[in-house]
Amino acid sequence: MRSWEEVEAFAVSLPGTYRGTSWRAAAVKIGTKAFVSTGNEAGSFHVRCPHEEKAVLLETGPDSFWQTPHYASWPGLLARYDAADPDRVRIVVARAWWDAAPMRLRRSFGDRP
């Protein structure tokens, strides 16, 4: 995922998603919940993530994931477009979708990635 267009294409391939906005930024949503957005930092996008997982990702994948003080208290983090581990970034995006998806879509998708 080297650009927002690639992130967006992957995110909208997940069931029940659509292009939208969040805080005036391009985003992909499921229902009313944005799970990825362009964020506020060049070279990165924002992805929702539970605090517990966020801490692990920041510690184990600093070449792929990071945050600014703006995102420190928010359940999400920034992912780099030039991430060292793009497959891991895709999994984090899919998890963000799964966490926001209604139960019927989760069942059709399967277990949490």
Domain boundaries, the chain: 4-109
The residue type of 92 is: V
CA–CA gap between residue 66 and residue 59 (Å, rounded): 9
* Pairing mode, strands 76-80 and 25-30: unpaired
| Range 4-109 classified under CATH 3.40.50.150 | no
The pLDDT of residue 44: 97
Beta bridge partners of 30: 17, 33
What residues in the chain have per-residue pLDDT under 50? none
The pLDDT of residue 94: 97
